[in-house]
């Protein structure tokens, strides 16, 4: 089948403003949007710039807006989005070129919540034990691949880039509810700041955007509740 691809093009070094590149591509209905983008880059216009690595929904590097919704290009089948497909960079982060955005501000928010296990107590002779129930408490948020699809679909983040964003809260959740960690209170304090968790207005775009089906809004609500229980 033939499809019409409209791709947002922008090179900040040479262009005053973004423009639309229009391409006609022959694909199979079961091809992915990433395949169509590859076709354009490899056979029609080598200057098209996009980011991808694994091509199998693992690395999180090809989050883009497909027909107005944040998706991983390697996970969306052509047959599910129709013959006219619009592809744009994710919103709220500076465009480096075409579909590639600067992930630095996103990574800064990620780092700000201390996304690693903290426990200064002497380690036991074997490993730090955890029951099945304790592990299940944060199982959902361990699935995050840091693709930024959630944060860059959030209107609160669009209007205020300092908002730590749903991805960072998901990462904080993963450690706040880990029974082996001892820095939950510290993370809650960080998220209690004015650019923290209360910037979330429960809009749910993040949950819709997550390619790992993480219940992002639910995780944020659990962090908010924990904050209230801790008097923050
Ligand atoms: Fe991507 Fe989901 Fe992680 Fe957000 S929570 S960064 S959408 S995997
Ligand atoms: Fe934004 Fe998700 Fe909250 S879209 S406002 S972080 S529920
Ligand atoms: Fe790795 Fe799509 S290219 S997730």
* pLDDT, tens digit (0-9, with 9 covering 90-100), for 96-145: 999 999 999 999 999 999 999 999 999 899 999 999 999 999 999 999 99
C-beta of residue 97 within 8 angstroms of C-beta of residue 121: no
Task: Indicate whether residue 35 lines ligand 3 (CB < 6 A).
Answer: no
pLDDT of residue 107: 98
Report the candidate in 219, 213, 90 with the shortest Cα–Cα distance to residue 157.
90
pLDDT of residue 175: 98
Task: Say which DSSP state 163 is in.
Answer: S
pLDDT band at 152 (very low <50, low <70, confident <90, very high): very high
- State which ligand 1 atom lies nearest to the alpha carbon of 145: 8
Task: Indicate whether residue 205 lines ligand 2 (CB < 6 A).
Answer: yes
pLDDT band at 147 (very low <50, low <70, confident <90, very high): very high
pLDDT band at 86 (very low <50, low <70, confident <90, very high): very high
pLDDT of residue 13: 93
- State which ligand 2 atom lies nearest to the alpha carbon of 205: 4
C-beta of residue 36 within 8 angstroms of C-beta of residue 175: no
Task: Indicate whether residue 197 lines ligand 2 (CB < 6 A).
Answer: no
pLDDT of residue 209: 98
C-beta of residue 23 within 8 angstroms of C-beta of residue 5: yes
CA distance 186 to 204: 26
pLDDT band at 227 (very low <50, low <70, confident <90, very high): very high
Residue 20, C-beta contacts closer than 8 angstroms, at least 6 positions apart: 6, 7, 8, 9
* pLDDT, tens digit (0-9, with 9 covering 90-100), for 153-194: 999 999 999 999 999 999 999 999 999 999 999 999 999 999
pLDDT of residue 173: 98
Task: Indicate whether residue 2 lines ligand 2 (CB < 6 A).
Answer: no
pLDDT of residue 81: 97
| pTM (predicted TM-score) | 0.96
CA distances, 131 to each of 48, 135, 136, 173, 176 (Å): 49, 6, 9, 18, 16
3-class DSSP state for residue 124?
A: coil
Task: Say which DSSP state 72 is in.
Answer: E
CA distances, 208 to each of 128, 166, 203 (Å): 35, 12, 10
CA distances, 28 to each of 31, 32, 61, 79, 82 (Å): 5, 9, 24, 8, 12
* pLDDT, tens digit (0-9, with 9 covering 90-100), for 48-61: 999 999 999 999 99
CA distance 56 to 35: 12
């Amino acid at each position: 089948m033939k499809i019409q691809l409209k791709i947002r093009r922008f090179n900040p070094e040479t262009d005053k403003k973004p423009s639309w590149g229009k391409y006609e591509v022959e694909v199979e209905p079961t091809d992915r949007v990433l395949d169509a983008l590859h076709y354009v880059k490899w056979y029609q216009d080598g200057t098209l710039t996009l980011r991808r690595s694994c091509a199998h929904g693992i690395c999180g590097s090809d989050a883009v807006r497909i027909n107005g919704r944040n998706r991983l290009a390697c996970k969306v089948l052509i047959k599910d989005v129709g013959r006219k497909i619009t592809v744009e960079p994710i919103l709220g982060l500076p465009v480096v070129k075409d579909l590639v955005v600067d992930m630095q501000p996103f990574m800064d928010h990620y780092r700000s919540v201390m996304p690693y296990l903290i426990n200064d107590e002497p380690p036991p002779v074997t490993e730090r034990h955890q029951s099945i129930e304790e592990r299940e408490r944060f199982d959902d948020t361990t699935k995050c691949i840091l693709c930024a699809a959630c944060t860059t679909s959030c209107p609160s983040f669009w209007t205020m880039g300092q908002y730590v964003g749903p991805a960072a809260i998901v990462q904080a959740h993963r450690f706040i509810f880990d029974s082996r960690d001892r820095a939950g209170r510290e993370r809650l304090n960080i998220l209690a700041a004015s650019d923290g968790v209360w910037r979330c207005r429960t809009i749910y775009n993040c949950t819709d955007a997550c390619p790992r089906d993480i219940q992002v809004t639910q995780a944020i609500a659990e962090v908010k509740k924990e904050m209230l229980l801790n008097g923050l």
